[in-house]
Amino acid sequence: MYYQSSHPTITFSVAHSLVPEEHLHNEIEIIYCTKGSFEAIIDSKKYVINEGDMSIAFPNQSHYYLHDKHKELSVYLMIFKIQILPEIEETLKTSIPDSPKLIVKDREYLESILLEMNKYKQIDGYSLLRLSGLLKLLSAYIFENTNLVNNKKTDPALIENIVNYCNCNYTSDIHLSDLEKNLHVNKFYISHIFNEKLKISFTEYIHTLRVEAAKKMLQNSDKTVTEIAYNVGYNTVRNFNRIFLKLTGITPIEYKKTKIKK
């Protein structure tokens, strides 16, 4: 599980593959299937999305997707911040879909909107205005046909604050007590959020951030393994090597060699 950094106001694309790693973010993610099928796993529940169906993941709902790579898949993928829909923003903040799967009844109408959106997917000035307007039309259709229920889960803003703090401070000697002090939230509750919502322990999350940063340095810089180990927050190279091997299956040196060959 990982937390994706913020997207632009609207991300719109036609895709032929989907993210298989479990993740979450602070935006709404909508996928409309035009060819083939895939499985959407949202908050640990599985939904089969066929041609003409749509999956909807709300802010901070964990989700990932599986599909047969040997079969053709084509989808429209949209990710956007709820602030772009001010008329229903407050409702969206406190609600989630009763079912993340929507069987689209008026495909011709919905696909006409998506085709127009595809014309303006390159975000620049007027295109963003057009895309925003079309997104509102699309959202009106979706939420008129989706039953929203009260979301009694953890405050999304708190999750984002916790994750942002970790993302900004993982290179330091960071502990749960640091989050407790700076965010004014009990450290045991923070630990609970990691385990129950992010499906990963606090320590594992910090290691994941460090290893991902190290992979980029190994691939894109001339720094030694020792330098990188200290840069990403480890006090010893031995510990860095052990964690890197555990998370990737290879050592940092082996990783660097494979990237050089490519």
Contact 112, 163 (CB under 8 A): no
Shared-domain flag, residues 125 and 163: no
Say which CATH number the domain at 114 has. 2.60.120.280
Assess whether 182 and 197 both reside in one domain: yes
Q: What is the mean pLDDT of residues 152-171?
A: 84
33 and 126 inside one domain: yes
123, 150, 177 — which closes off a domain? Answer: 150
Query: pLDDT grade, residue 167 (50/70/90)?
Result: very high
Tell me, yes or no, whether 90 and 107 share the same domain. Answer: yes
Residues 13 and 138 in one domain: yes
At residue 33, the pLDDT reads 98
Q: Are residues 81 and 128 in the same domain?
A: yes
Pair 82, 165 in one domain:
no
Can you give the CATH number for the domain in which 241 is found?
1.10.10.60
Into how many domains does the chain fold?
Answer: 2
- The answer to whether the CB of 75 falls within 8 A of the CB of 29 is no
Residue range of the domain that includes 257: 156-261
Judge if 208 and 123 occupy the same domain. Answer: no
For residue range 94-125, what is the model confidence (pLDDT) as tens digits?
888 999 999 999 999 999 999 999 988 776 66
For residue range 177-211, list pLDDT tens digits in order: 999 999 988 898 899 888 887 888 999 999 999 99
- Residues 137, 13 share a domain: yes
Paired strand residues for 32:
54, 76
Tell me how far apart the alpha carbons of residues 225 and 115 are, in angstroms, rounded to a whole number.
Answer: 48
Q: Contact 226/190 with Cβ under 8 angstroms?
A: no
Contact 57, 79 (CB under 8 A): no
